Amino acid sequence: MTKKLFIKTYGCQMNVYDTVRMGDVMAPLGYSLADSVEGADLVILNTCHIREKAEEKVYSELGRIRQEKEKKAAEGSRMLIADGGCVGQAEGEEIIKRAPFVDIVLGPQSYHQLPEMVTRATREKGGVVELEFPTVQKFDLLPESSAPQGSAAFLSVQEGCDKFCSFCVVPYTRGAEYSRKPEKVIAEARRMVDQGSVEIMLLGQNVNAYHGEGVGGRNWSLADLIDALARIDGLHRIRYMTSHPRDMSDDLIAIHGSEPKLMPYLHLPIQSGSDEILKRMNRKHTVDFYLDIIDRLRKARPDMAFSSDFIVGFPGEGEKDFEGSMQVVEKVGYASAYSFKYSPRPGTPAAVDDKQVPEEVKDERLMRLQELIRNKQTSFNESCIGRVMPVLLDRDGKLEGQLLGKSPYMQSVHVKNAGEYRGQFVDVKITGAYLNSLAGEVVGIQDNINFRKAV
């Protein structure tokens, strides 16, 4: 008999990937994925702890799920509730104390233990909690087979972080940096391509610190890994995120110039445009160091575009420091960027800094920064008008016959009356630009590419 598993995912792409893997690990036990909590046999919240009020959101969501659990109990069957992800890791036992109807609490390093925990929770009353960082990494213990992810797939190659930026919970919730073995990554990428994926996003909290141990003990850099993956027939686009400026090694910069499958778009967070604040953030780089990397990447690949993360209102940030962030946005001319108000995270050094910035100052700075970012994003999109770009038309648009796909720069591209090209990589001439998308028309087919499987 099949059982219904509902997983709700919050936060980053690593969580999206982990959700797929949790589905894989439960499949042999007869669980198939459901798209709502109603009547589910197992509900997992895959949570995020990176910014404000994450715990509160989780508790209120748990309250709603509790009602479904009670409904199910009234019908004589049981719903198990699991709290996973980084809130699970950070809150631990506290979750069972505050929400005793939760059956399982587990951190991101314990997903391979999920079947055993579910079995225990079914038998036992009371919560089952697993928060250890095992010495054998979860990736090596998860099943090899995986559900198809569609034309663009996520693949985790690295997890955890040793950088300890003073605002960030990741080193505490995800643990120390760990790189998967290159042969495992390559085998997984091959399986993804066999299942129809043509684009792979390599994921890691600090992905460019990748240093996988290859056969014979050789250390592989991320550039080595990209070079090997690019040889897989049928894989046409490679991306990676998230990178730290300090780990943009020479070989990684160089491969942007030499490997056409590596997309000319990089998410490279700077966080602040003030050296003083970068120091307080323990970022271990300066503004000039960052801008120099951008220059070198543009030299290697002139059509390179960038995105970044910014935090405004970090403790000690004055108006001049904030102006520095605005200047970086001007100088780099980002294709897109994310900006956040600083949110004190319990247990991180910056949370106890006595130079906290008032909320209204943060609000005001965030508004100014976001307006500038929107302008830059629109300018970048407008600069694409007239260019011809390869786009995989893999999704239906809202209008009849309209298809959507992603450009090399992750922009959504809409093409009207394109029904016949569904699932194909086509050359699209860009004719219109908006804040969040582009419009264009098909001017050619990349006919050396067979995407039958991607549809």
| Least distance CB 202 / ligand SF4 (angstroms) | 16
Which residues in 244-273 contact ligand 5AD (CB under 6 A)?
269, 271
203 binds, among ligand 5AD, ligand SF4, none (CB under 5 to 8 A by kind): none
Stretch near ligand SF4 under the rule CB under 6 A, chosen from 57-65, 159-167, 180-188, 293-301: 159-167
Judged by CB under 6 A, does residue 343 bind ligand 5AD? yes
| Least distance CB 244 / ligand SF4 (angstroms) | 5
Stretch near ligand 5AD under the rule CB under 6 A, chosen from 96-104, 175-183, 255-263, 342-350: 342-350
- HEC profile of the chain: CCEEEEEEECCCHHHHHHHHHHHHHHHHHCEEECCCCCCCCEEEEEECCCCCCHHHHHHHHHHHHHHHHHHHHHCCCCCEEEEEHHHHHHHCHHHHHHCCCCCEEECCCCHHHHHHHHHHHHHCCCCEEECCCCCCCHHHHCCCCCCCCCCEEEEECEECCCCCCCCCCHHHHCCCCEECCHHHHHHHHHHHHHCCCCEEEEECCCHHHCEEECHHHCEEEHHHHHHHHCCCCCCCEEEEECCCHHHCCHHHHHHHHHCCCECCEEECCCECCCHHHHHHCCCCCCHHHHHHHHHHHHHHCCCCEEEEEEEECCCCCCHHHHHHHHHHHHHHCCCEEEEEECCCCCCCHHHHCCCCCCHHHHHHHHHHHHHHHHHHHHHHHHHCCCCEEEEEEEEECCCCCCEEEECCCCCEEEECCCHHHCCCEEEEEEEEECCCEEEEEEEEECCCCCCHHHC
| Least distance CB 95 / ligand 5AD (angstroms) | 21
342 binds, among ligand 5AD, ligand SF4, none (CB under 5 to 8 A by kind): ligand 5AD
Stretch near ligand 5AD under the rule CB under 6 A, chosen from 28-36, 337-345, 360-368, 441-449: 337-345
Judged by CB under 6 A, does residue 311 bind ligand 5AD? yes
Which residues in 36-75 contact ligand 5AD (CB under 6 A)?
50-51
50 binds, among ligand SF4, ligand 5AD, none (CB under 5 to 8 A by kind): ligand 5AD
Which residues in 235-264 contact ligand SF4 (CB under 6 A)?
244
Stretch near ligand SF4 under the rule CB under 6 A, chosen from 168-176, 226-234, 256-264, 443-451: 168-176
**Which parts of this chain interact with ligand 5AD (CB under 6 A)?**
50-51, 167-168, 269, 271, 309, 311, 340, 342-343, 345
